[in-house]
Amino acid sequence: MLRNLRLNFFLLSFLILLAPLSSYAKKAPDSFARLAEALSPSVVNISTTTIIEDRKNNLPTFPPGSPFEEFFKQFQEPNQSKRRAQSLGSGFIIDKKGYIITNNHVIDNAEKIMVILHDDKSFEAEVVGKDPKTDVALLKINPKNTILKAVKFGNSNDLRVGDWVMAIGNPFGFGGTVTAGIVSARGRNIGGSYDDYIQTDASINRGNSGGPLFDMNGNVVGINTAIFSQSGGSVGIGFAVSSNLAKQVSDQLRKYGRTKRGWLGVLIQQITKEIADSLQLKNTNGALVSSATENGPAYKAGIKSGDIILKFNGIKIESMNELPKVVASTPVGESVKVEIWREGKIKTLTVILGELELAENNNLINNNPKKGKTKSFPRIGFEIKQLDDQDIQKYKIKEYTKGIIISKVKKNSKAFKSGLREGMIIVRVGQAEVSDLSIISNAIEKAKKQKR
């Protein structure tokens, strides 16, 4: 009797433990056939034609420094031959009026874009707008008497790792190909400032680019964009632009013909454990401000070099990579609260966002400084100078065009062993923005006195 009671109690406890798990788990679909049949008419094949110029020179070549080199340069007129190159990609219809989304790299520099529907009807498309930063492009066709079937965007934030997803596209020119898998990861960054990729193991190959990634409700949760592969074929690591980001960009392209991103006007860096320790921070959350663009939105609001942005518009900034995406998705001209940490205290400032594209066009993001003298620190083993145009060209500097550059580093010196190298730019020392050589000199002298 007692044994049976113990056994029953054990089984009851086991069932109670299983109950919460079963409420979260979703049954794997028996088949994707109905979903594929319903969604395939909304997926299109995209064929592009690009003109490529081959430059050939029939004149002889000479070794550098040859007396004939300069003589023959005046006669060099390279022969130009043009050839047409065709490529294939995918896309999907988001409006019955003929609006189609694809990847920017699918149609970039194309002379002619043809959209082929599931029933082999083809239409020439025009580019409404494109955004290289997120690799999203919006096309428009005139469907005439053809009835188009559009799909809807889903909320990619609702996706969970392990959820089933389905991809439809045009891999290697085989149109209407369906593959399925699960969400392997979310929020992947593969090199861009605004990356928000869904990682999936659904097979994605060449030609799938621009095609949709669907959830099990038939909503678009991503645009299949890239794969990680050493062979060029699918190895189960594919990336899709999240639908929330794609919808935001496509809405702007449709309305303005271009993107309008929010602009804060700061250069930021990741907070490492070493930086956190030096600033007496409890964790590495937030984005450290290296500098604020003069007369930019952050500068006008009072944000300074050395500030740590903890929250933007009420959104907690866990790491540096999150801030550009949050700022970009905020409407231009909006007044937002920015919570910062400065000298051990939390402050809240109000920033009126500018427009990133206007700032880029007006060269407001990178301001070139004036030339300065050099300063050497022989005991530490390096030399610095104020950054100028010559340095920018020499070291191919694109972002940090303001500050002090390391012009020399003595091998096996303290500076070398600490990781300093020629061409590196010093934009901040401690919490002080570096705009002059004296700031670094004073910081080093202060550290010597404090035996740091």
Band of pLDDT at residue 58, cut at 50, 70 and 90: low
Region class of 231: left (phi > 0), else alpha (psi between -120 and 50), else beta: alpha
What average pLDDT does the chain have? Answer: 83
Q: Which of 212, 171, 197 has the alpha carbon at shortest distance from 89?
A: 171
Please give the model's pTM, rounded to 2 decimal places: 0.71
pLDDT more than 70, % of the chain: 81
Question: Which one, of 94, 91, 222, lies nearest residue 157 by Cα?
Answer: 222
For residue 181, CA distances in Å to 216, 231, 238, 342, 400 come to 11, 20, 10, 46, 41
417 pLDDT tier (thresholds 50, 70, 90): confident
pLDDT tens digits, 74-112:
555 555 566 677 778 999 999 999 999 999 999 998 999
pLDDT score of 230 more than 70: no
Give the count of alpha carbons within 13 A of 394, CB side only.
11
Q: Which positions are catalytic? A: 105, 135, 209
Count helices and strands in the chain by DSSP H and E runs: 12, 27
- 369-395: per-residue pLDDT in tens? 444 568 888 888 888 887 777 777 777
Q: How do strand 374-377 and strand 382-386 relate by DSSP bridges?
A: antiparallel
Q: Of 262-266, 400-404, 444-448, where does mean pLDDT reach its minimum? A: 400-404
Rounded to whole angstroms, the Cα distance separating 438 from 434 reads: 9
Of residues 386 and 163, more confidently modeled: 163
Average pLDDT over residues 338-367: 86
User: Is the separation of the CB atoms in 255 and 219 below 8 Å?
Assistant: no
> Is pLDDT of 202 > 70?
yes
| Cβ 351 vs Cβ 318: under 8 Å | no
Percent of the chain with pLDDT over 90: 46
pLDDT of residue 370: 45
pLDDT in tens, 15-32: 334 444 444 456 678 899
